Structures are given as structure tokens and as C-alpha cells.
Amino acid sequence: MWWLFIASLAAWVAMAGQAPAATPPSPASATGAVEVLQVRPDIYMLTVDGENVGLETGPQGAVVVDTGPASAAGALLDTIRRLSPHWIRFIVDTSADANLIGGNARLSAAGQSMMIGWQLLGRYHNRPDSITEHLLDTRAPIIARQGVLEQMASDPGGIRADELALPSDTFALPQTHYNFRINGDIVNVVAMPPAHSQADSVVLFRRADVVVTGAIFDVTRFPVIDVAHGGSINGEIAAIDQIMNNLAVASGPVVNSEDGTLIIPLHGAVCNQPELLTYRDMLYAVRSRVEDLMQHGRNLEQVEAADPAQGYEKRFGSDTGPWTTKDFIEAVYRSLETAQTQQRGRGGQG
């Protein structure tokens, strides 16, 4: 039957060909514009124009977490091909930020979905015409929360307007995880509270014991809280707590790796649980100070003048650039203001 022939052809396509192979870089080196750090034997942190990208490699293919800015997509793809001779199989977007989704279309097109051949027949057995359609479009799927797709589709212009860059496999609450198995590992894409935005997720490579946090955790600066897209300081703290309590463990005798869970942040060096705890405590202290000032009737200008980030500015703050200390304090203030308004509304309904 014709559909059996197509399925057999799909299975042959899945096995035929590999990405160009080359000798992998040393554990810490630079490949063009991409800095490579080997975190575990099969996990890498690729730094592209300052943005950290997670990569898992293995005999079944590669998993890419965030794809960096569009301007560096070619260099990133070349580096991935050097590190892995196999197809890119999955891409995960942790948020809808342009600097994290810029390489989506190019990396997806350079990859190949694992769901072809007989798996396609299982999904599309009632729609045989769709088998041919999907044989012609076997790119690596892009996984994200539904809110990421909605934000990308609603924002005009740029990368977000490219249909090929949009997530193809999404999940939404109450589903809190999107899980898949590859290279003998279970990969958990975990929904987070509204921290950086309302549709954040982090990725846990369970066997490797590595977490990729996206924009939720940034050791080089105060976190960017995108209030316009649902981000909040309360969500930031809740998300960090969830990572720390449920996904990351400290080093100790009960952990196979002496390093404990390794954490790849948006920017900066690989971290561990104690460094995550330090970051959480900083957020908690700043929020408490701003809340106290607001309870005493201070407006935004007065809160900013009181310098609630004092003691943390040298490490995390900046007076210039796209995200300053003032921007952070305003985001904390605005998100707390929104939370108070919502709480009063709920109280009125009761």
C-alpha cells in the first residue's frame, strides 16, 4: 500500500545522513563567536554574544535550549555541528525574548524530527494526506509553553513574525511539565511561576543533573522582570525557590556528582545551588525593602530615592545599558503594585 511505502521512506530518511562531523573543541574554548564550556560529558554551555545556550549531545541527536540572537545563528549552528555529528532533534525556548529565540528557524531547519515514519502513521492515520505534508517538513520541533507562542505570534515584526521560528510543540497549565527521552536521559521542560514573564520555563537534564534557567536567573545583573508580559518579583522569588527546592540539589554524599546540580544561567558562569540561594536572598531582601517603603506610603520616585538595592548594586547593578538598577526597582515596584491591586480586588469579591 502507498502509505506503507511512504512510512518506509520516512524511516529511511530518519536514518540517512548526519550533520558534518569534526573533532570537538576542548572543554573550554572558543569557536568563532561562540565560547564552548563542557559542563558534563554530554552537556555544553555555549555562550553566544553573551547569551548562554544549553546543548545536550548523544547518539540519538542534540537538544538545544534557547537559540541565541539571530545574528549569531550561523556561528552557533557551526559549533553544534562540531560538537555533535548527529541531527538536532529538539529545540526548547524558555521564553519569547528575541535574544533567546533568534536562531529558532535556522536551527530547526538544520535539524530533523524524531517523529517520522511509523510514528507519523500513528498520529495521522486518519489523515493520510498529512503524512506527505509532514514528510516534507521534518524539522526539529521547537518546544515551549503556549504563552511563548502567543507572545511571539502577537508581537509584530522581526523574528517573531517568521512562522518557521514559532514553537511547534507547546504545553499550557495545568500541565506543568513537557517531558521527553533522548540519549538515555529524561529531559523535563518545567513551567515556572510568572517571573521574567508569564510563560517562563526551565529545562532539567535529569541524568546529567543540569538545569538551564533562561532569563529567570542571571548572575551578572538583577533579573529582567518584564511586567508588560506578566513578570513579577513575587514570581521571580517563587521560581528560584522552585528550582532550588525541586530541581537542584547541593553537593553531598547522596549525590552522584560531587558538584551537585549544575545550573546554566542566562548570562555568566555555571553555578550551583548555594549561588542560587544567594541570588534568591538578594531578591527577597530587595522586595522586602520596597514593600516596606510602599506600606509607608512612598511613591515610585521616593522608593527609588531610598535605594532599596543598596548593598547589591556593585555586584548586580548598572547605571547604563538595557537593564539598569533603576529599571529593576521600577519593575519590582510595579509588580508589587499590581499584586496589591489584585489582592484588594479578591478581598472585595469576598
Give the model confidence (pLDDT) of 99-119 as tens digits: 999 999 999 999 999 875 444
β-strand pairing of 43-48 with 51-56:
antiparallel
Ordered by where they begin, the domains of the chain are: 2-274 (3.60.15.10)
* Cell numbers 573550554: residue: 28
Residue pair 232/337 in contact by the 8 Å Cβ criterion: no
β-bridge partners, 30: 35
Q: pLDDT in tens for each of the 350 residues of the chain?
A: 444 344 444 444 444 445 544 444 444 555 558 999 999 999 999 999 999 999 999 999 999 999 999 999 999 999 999 999 999 999 999 999 999 999 999 999 999 998 754 444 444 445 555 444 444 458 999 999 999 999 998 876 665 557 889 999 999 999 999 999 999 999 999 999 999 999 999 999 999 999 999 999 999 999 999 999 999 999 999 999 999 999 997 655 444 455 689 999 999 999 999 999 999 999 999 999 999 999 999 999 999 999 999 999 999 999 999 999 999 999 999 999 999 988 877 765 54
CB atoms within 10 A of CB 144: 27
Report the amino acid identity of residue 177: H
What is the C-alpha separation between 84 and 59, in angstroms, rounded? 9
Q: Report pTM.
A: 0.86
Phi-psi region of 251 (alpha: psi -120 to 50; beta: other; left: phi over 0): beta
Tens digits of per-residue pLDDT, 260-310? 899 999 999 999 999 999 999 999 999 999 999 999 999 999 999 999 999
Report the amino acid identity of residue 198: Q
Q: What is the grid cell recorded at 16?
A: 540517512
Among 11, 191, 8, 6, residue whose Cα is nearest residue 113: 11
